[in-house]
Chains A and B, each alone.
Chain A
Amino acid sequence: MTPTFDHLVKQLKKLPGLGFRSAERIALNVLVEKPENLTNLVEALESARLQVKRCSQCGNLSEEEICDICSDERRDVGLICVVEQVPDLVAIESSGSFKGQYHVLHGKLSPIKGVGPSELNLESLEKRISQGQCFEIVLALGNDIEGEATCHYIVDTIVDEHPLKVTRIGFGLPSGGNILYADQITLKSAMDGRRSYES
């Protein structure tokens, strides 16, 4: 329509889950239909950009160097639950079934999609493990093939020689399940029923 408008649509279209039509609708909405919301949106984006970052310890969202969970002294530092994404952490938190700390990988291994170990938040996991406070790693990744391969990689490469207990949460789900789709009760029983990991 106009060069600047087209540029905006193009940028919006890069966001996950947005096709050309939805990108166009959003652009029209914020520019023409509801311009009064635009200032708030720009401000929210700008302040989020400046303040929200990854927790340097676990990868969770945080406005401090260390997130609320990592700095909560009541939580068990000996237990680290490894998840793929922040929403997985939120789901487990809301099920109230876990009182340890987390580690967010921000993805799972998938060579086809170009995701290798260096794309994941693994280096800081290795650092945490070698500090020696942790005695159990709970693998709470999805049980699809990439999730399983990532578990295998963590156990083989990151945990390696460290004398740790490694457990895998049980699933009340068929193969290919993602923990985001599990309800709170299923998640709680999956966490309680976690089993020793066998590679």
Chain B
Amino acid sequence: MRISRLRLQTFRNISFVDLSFSGDIHFFSGKNAQGKTNLLEALGMVSALRSFRAHDINTIIKQGDRQAQMVYNIEGVGFKSAEVSINLKKKGKEIEVDGERISRFRDFIGSFPTVVMSSHDIQLLRGSPGVRRQWLNLVLASSNQSYYDNLRDYHRLLAERNSLLKKFAGSNEMKAFEAGLADKAVRLFKVRSDEIPRLQRHLKDAYLQISPEDENVKMAYKPDFEAISREGYLKQLEKSREKDRILKSTQHGPHRDDLDLGLEGRKARDFGSEGQQRSLMIALKIAQSRFVEESNGISPVLLADDVLCELDDLRKSNFWHALGKGVQVFATGTEIPNEDDGKKWQVFTVRDGTFTEAD
């Protein structure tokens, strides 16, 4: 897919912009805190209605204003063109596609995929399992709608069960919620078991294209509990009920799963050099993009926040080669990229929330 125009109103420090995009690669250049990342954040919100950097959506609304508005014009596979408008209000979000109100967000999520690359990505290696799980869920949910439904229901059931644990509720009441929990756990386990190897294949291919060294990259599913059957997980829940009561939360299940990322059989976060880690991060995002395209037939838009400038020349040229033609890229940086990249960037200079297209 391709974003051809973006309009923003009272979005963070941006009062109003109306940008038309020509070509496939666009660069936003400017000093820090001028609004470059805000623009990428706005572009990313079209995928899952979530910000890649803010938990509290209210911080997006420009100070002193009641709402933030985003309008995207999108061209792509499966639809000729679409105009998507998102209205963020303090009380919630409103979405319209071609003037038609979308009342259930699940029908919208994943329709317009983007992939974000930022300095925060290193947390996928160094951070807690929760960081990797969140990324995995994002990838799987944007390529499989029933995964999104199961994940949402699983977390609601988990919250209900945890609330029962705190109240020392009877086992009949516990079982009533554990039944649903086990159903969802088995489905999440199944999708993760099936899809992680497919993601791993894309990662392996992409890493070999990016890294100048000839290492093998590995991605393995590390389930906290192998929820192969409903009965198996139900038994586990019953077994850990007493302990869960003491700790006031459910100790085992898909919400504790992890991914093992490694190079040549070693964990990348322990052993990889900085260059290897950087290659791995980029390969992960290219793998994510290919995985989503393979699943939905829509090629995601790439949003690269401040990362392309930091690559050495070899990795940079490998990156463009691996990306292939036709993928739209929005990138930010403090300096306009060298012409010797051989790339014709559409360049915007960003200052204090305003955007000027360079000639």
Asked whether A199 and B169 contact (CB < 8 A) given A145-B153, A145-B156, A149-B160, the answer is no
Closest to A109 in B: B176
Q: Contact size class for B?
A: 10 to 19
Cα distance A175–B150 in the bound complex, in angstroms: 10
Closest to B166 in A: A111
Chain A CB within 10 Å — which of B149, B175, B176 has the most? B176
Instruction: Pick the interface stretch among A59-67, A130-138, A152-160.
Output: A152-160
User: Which residues of the partner chain B approach A148 to less than 8 Å between Cβ atoms?
Assistant: 179-180
Q: Does B173 contact A (CB under 8 A)?
A: yes
Set B149, B159, B163, B177: member contacting A175, Cβ < 8 A: B149
Set A110, A145, A156, A199: member contacting B172, Cβ < 8 A: A156
Closest to A147 in B: B180
Contact B163 A149 (CB under 8 A): no
Instruction: Report A191 CB to chain B, min CB distance, Å.
Output: 23
User: Which residues of the partner chain B approach A109 to less than 8 Å between Cβ atoms?
Assistant: 173, 176-177
Q: Does B167 contact A (CB under 8 A)?
A: yes
Q: Does B164 contact A (CB under 8 A)?
A: yes
Cα distance A146–B161 in the bound complex, in angstroms: 11
Set A146, A153, A199: member contacting B173, Cβ < 8 A: A153
Instruction: Report B233 CB to chain A, min CB distance, Å.
Output: 15
Chain B CB within 10 Å — which of A109, A111, A146 has the most? A111
User: Which residues of the partner chain A approach B169 to less than 8 Å between Cβ atoms?
Assistant: 111, 116
User: Which residues of the partner chain B approach A111 to less than 8 Å between Cβ atoms?
Assistant: 160-161, 163-164, 167, 169, 173, 177
Cα distance A199–B231 in the bound complex, in angstroms: 12
Instruction: Report A38 CB to chain B, min CB distance, Å.
Output: 33
Cα distance A145–B156 in the bound complex, in angstroms: 8
Instruction: Report B164 CB to chain A, min CB distance, Å.
Output: 5
Contact B160 A116 (CB under 8 A): no
Contact B179 A152 (CB under 8 A): yes
Q: Does A15 contact B (CB under 8 A)?
A: no
Q: Mark A1-24, 1 if CB is under 8 A from B, else 0.
A: 000000000000000000000000
Instruction: Report B160 CB to chain A, min CB distance, Å.
Output: 5
Contact A149 B180 (CB under 8 A): yes
Closest to A150 in B: B176
Contact B159 A153 (CB under 8 A): no
Cα distance A111–B175 in the bound complex, in angstroms: 13
Contact A199 B179 (CB under 8 A): yes
Contact B176 A156 (CB under 8 A): yes
Instruction: Report B182 CB to chain A, min CB distance, Å.
Output: 11
User: Which residues of the partner chain A approach B153 to less than 8 Å between Cβ atoms?
Assistant: 145, 175
Cα distance A77–B169 in the bound complex, in angstroms: 34
Contact A149 B179 (CB under 8 A): yes
Instruction: Report A178 CB to chain B, min CB distance, Å.
Output: 14
Instruction: Report A166 CB to chain B, min CB distance, Å.
Output: 14
Contact A153 B160 (CB under 8 A): no
User: Which residues of the partner chain B approach A153 to less than 8 Å between Cβ atoms?
Assistant: 172-173, 175-176
Contact B160 A145 (CB under 8 A): yes
Q: Does A112 contact B (CB under 8 A)?
A: yes
Cα distance A109–B157 in the bound complex, in angstroms: 12
User: Which residues of the partner chain B approach A175 to less than 8 Å between Cβ atoms?
Assistant: 149, 153
User: Which residues of the partner chain A approach B172 to less than 8 Å between Cβ atoms?
Assistant: 117, 153, 156-157
Residues from 87 to 113 in A contacting B, C-beta threshold 8 Å: 109-112
Q: Mark B320-338, 1 if CB is under 8 A from A, else 0.
A: 0000000000000000000
Contact A152 B175 (CB under 8 A): yes
Closest to B157 in A: A145
User: Which residues of the partner chain A approach B156 to less than 8 Å between Cβ atoms?
Assistant: 145
Instruction: Report B175 CB to chain A, min CB distance, Å.
Output: 6
Contact A110 B160 (CB under 8 A): yes
Instruction: Report B256 CB to chain A, min CB distance, Å.
Output: 20
Enumerate 5 A-B pairs (CB-CB under 8 Å) in ascending A order: A111-B173, A111-B177, A145-B157, A152-B180, A157-B172
With A148-B179, A149-B176 already in contact, 20 other A-B pairs whose C-beta atoms are closer than 8 Å: A111-B160, A111-B169, A111-B173, A111-B177, A116-B167, A116-B169, A116-B173, A145-B153, A146-B160, A148-B180, A149-B157, A149-B180, A152-B179, A152-B180, A153-B172, A156-B172, A157-B172, A175-B149, A175-B153, A199-B179
Q: State the 9 A-B residue pairs at the shortest beta-carbon distance, nearest first.
A: A153-B176, A111-B163, A149-B176, A152-B176, A111-B164, A157-B172, A152-B179, A149-B177, A112-B163
Report B's interface with A, CB cutoff 8 A.
Answer: 149, 153, 156-157, 159-161, 163-164, 167, 169, 172-173, 175-177, 179-180
